[in-house]
Amino acid sequence: MDNTGKESFPPGLSNAFLFAVFNALSFQIVLGSPMVLYAQTLGASATVLGIITAMMPLLVIFQIPAANYINLLGYRRFVLSGWSGRVVCIFGLALVPLTDVFLDAQTRLVLVLALLFGFNLLRGISSCAWLPWITMLVPAQLRGRYLARDAAVTNLASFGAFMVAAGCLYGNPRPWQFSVLFLFSAVAGAISLTFLNRMPDVPPPDRFTVGKGRVPWLDMVRYKPFKRQLIELVAWSVAYGGITPFTVAFLKSQTGMAEDKIMLVSAVAFLGGLSSQWFLGSRLDRHGSKPVLGFACAAWVTVAVGWLTLAGGVYATGLMVVLVLQFLMGLLAALVNMANTRLAMAIIPPMGRNHFFAVYSVIGNLALGLAPIGWGLLIDAIGPRQFDWLGLTWNRYTIYYAATGLCFVAALLCTQRLDEPEAAGLETLLRDILIESPYRFWLRFWPRS
């Protein structure tokens, strides 16, 4: 506790937030829109873009075997080893654009895919120790506050990363500009390692009691509260998987928006994520995860409809509309991620925590990884074909956004079955935000007519 008697974060946890800042400056470039744009300059199809997007979540499957080795190395050493290898891969990516003088575009694309595979494989293995580590470090009553603050600093840093990307890719970007951008990512990743190494370590709870028997994976999945969250997580991941890269592809191919402008527009999503700190604050700990998930999934349906109307030609793809949709995407993605993570921390029992979190991460990320591949195949299969119906021009992106909207509806229905006994109702959350919030004070000064 601090001097005021309030529960406070453990000493040294500030390094986790600093790590999050430099980690976001790094990974948003090699896993986000800048990499999608570079792959497009090499002639990547929608299916290849889906594979690039899918690598990170799909390779999380290696958390399953890796979870058995966390106790041997400890949390910090395990994560630090994997993150160090990731940085080496990014330095390799920084060299690829410079090979354009002697390698053709197809060969460079293969090199990018190979290095991204190594990057995401190391991430998939080492990340299995992160959530158990944070769960042990952060007291239960402060986890919502920690997740909100972590999301805030991550989104602020991600916004900065996209500002850097927009500056580097100004005009008609040449290969060396992408090389400079990837080098910035590598340096930021190297700096993040210093803060990761300063985070307080804790011994795994079962370090000295690890048995050699079979891990009851199936029994874990059958644990009712956990099973219901996994179903909701899969529905959300299928809906959300691919929406960021294919929105970038839509803006580039259908509207002809320039790369630097796409970076600036995409950066607004991180301002939305940053605003989640105001939107939730301590409400996630106070009201629970279930109402937040219900609200966010319902709002995601509206966002999908918004993109559908733009892709279908109902409204012109104006800058202001795109900015609003990007802001909401960032806000709602942050809300869902925080609420899901907090709910997992709450319902996963201490016994077998490492393996429970591995199952949670693997199943969610498998859906998150397979989805963009499936969506990419759908978009490529439709190709340039289009037709008019119900006042919309139905093309590959109209159909894509309609399908994701239906998936968000399914995710919304799944949130209603989640087990969280102490969670408040959705109406309580909305009343707190819209009526009981301190910001209501300022409404008194709004002119009434």
Number of domains composing the chain: 1
Residue 56: how many CA atoms within 13 Å on its side-chain side? 16
Mean pLDDT of 208-222: 65
pLDDT band at 277 (very low <50, low <70, confident <90, very high): low
pLDDT band at 249 (very low <50, low <70, confident <90, very high): confident
Please give the Cα distance from 69 to 218 (Å, whole number): 20
Is 211 part of any domain?
no
Q: What is the pLDDT of residues 179-205, one digit of tens each?
A: 999 999 999 999 999 999 999 888 766
Is 40 part of any domain?
yes
**Range with the lowest mean pLDDT among 39-48, 123-132, 207-216?**
207-216
Structural contact between residues 427 and 287, judged by C-beta atoms closer than 8 angstroms: no
pLDDT band at 213 (very low <50, low <70, confident <90, very high): low
What 3-state class would DSSP assign to 139? coil
* pLDDT for 206: 55
| Structural tokens at position 190 | 């190297």
Is 92 part of any domain?
yes
Is 339 part of any domain?
yes
Mean pLDDT of 126-134: 86
Residue labelled with tokens 């453990």: 10
Structural contact between residues 435 and 300, judged by C-beta atoms closer than 8 angstroms: no
Is 7 part of any domain?
no
Give me the domain span that covers residue 291. 14-204+218-433
- In DSSP terms, which residues pair with 388 in a beta bridge? 393
Mean pLDDT of 293-322: 89
Please give the Cα distance from 147 to 36 (Å, whole number): 28
pLDDT band at 58 (very low <50, low <70, confident <90, very high): confident
Q: Closest Cα partner for 42 from 99, 90, 93, 106? A: 106
* pLDDT for 449: 40
Please give the Cα distance from 208 to 341 (Å, whole number): 27
Q: What is the pLDDT of residues 366-422, one digit of tens each?
A: 888 888 888 988 998 998 888 888 888 899 999 999 999 999 999 999 998 887 766
pTM for the full model? 0.74
Higher-confidence position of 432 and 164: 164
| Res. 281: pLDDT tops 80 | no
Q: For Cα atoms 26, 117, 265, give the angle at the middle one, nearest 5 degrees.
A: 40
Is 369 part of any domain?
yes
Q: What is the pLDDT of residues 296-306, one digit of tens each?
A: 999 999 999 99
- In DSSP terms, which residues pair with 394 in a beta bridge? 387
- In DSSP terms, which residues pair with 387 in a beta bridge? 394
Higher-confidence position of 84 and 142: 84
pLDDT band at 315 (very low <50, low <70, confident <90, very high): confident
* pLDDT for 4: 45
pLDDT band at 448 (very low <50, low <70, confident <90, very high): very low
| Res. 442: pLDDT tops 60 | no
The strand ranges marked E within 229-321 are none
pLDDT band at 307 (very low <50, low <70, confident <90, very high): very high
**Range with the lowest mean pLDDT among 53-67, 199-213, 239-253, 381-395?**
199-213
What 3-state class would DSSP assign to 384? coil
| Res. 353: pLDDT tops 60 | yes
| Res. 156: pLDDT tops 50 | yes
* pLDDT for 327: 93
Structural contact between residues 334 and 24, judged by C-beta atoms closer than 8 angstroms: no
Residue 258 CA: distances (Å) to CA of 33, 97, 166: 13, 19, 10
Residue labelled with tokens 């991550």: 154
CATH code, domain with 318? 1.20.1250.20
Structural contact between residues 106 and 43, judged by C-beta atoms closer than 8 angstroms: yes
Please give the Cα distance from 86 to 70 (Å, whole number): 18
* pLDDT for 230: 93
Q: What is the mean pLDDT of the chain?
A: 83
Q: Which long-range contacts (CB under 8 A, 24 or more apart) does 12-16 make?
A: 12/198, 12/199, 12/200, 13/137, 13/138, 13/146, 13/199, 13/200, 15/195, 15/196, 15/198, 15/199, 16/134, 16/137, 16/150, 16/195, 16/199
| Res. 27: pLDDT tops 70 | yes
Is 68 part of any domain?
yes
Which positions ≥6 away from 378 have C-beta within 8 Å? 396, 399, 400, 403
pLDDT band at 325 (very low <50, low <70, confident <90, very high): very high
Greatest mean pLDDT range, 19-33, 206-220, 287-301: 19-33
Higher-confidence position of 74 and 99: 99
Is 414 part of any domain?
yes
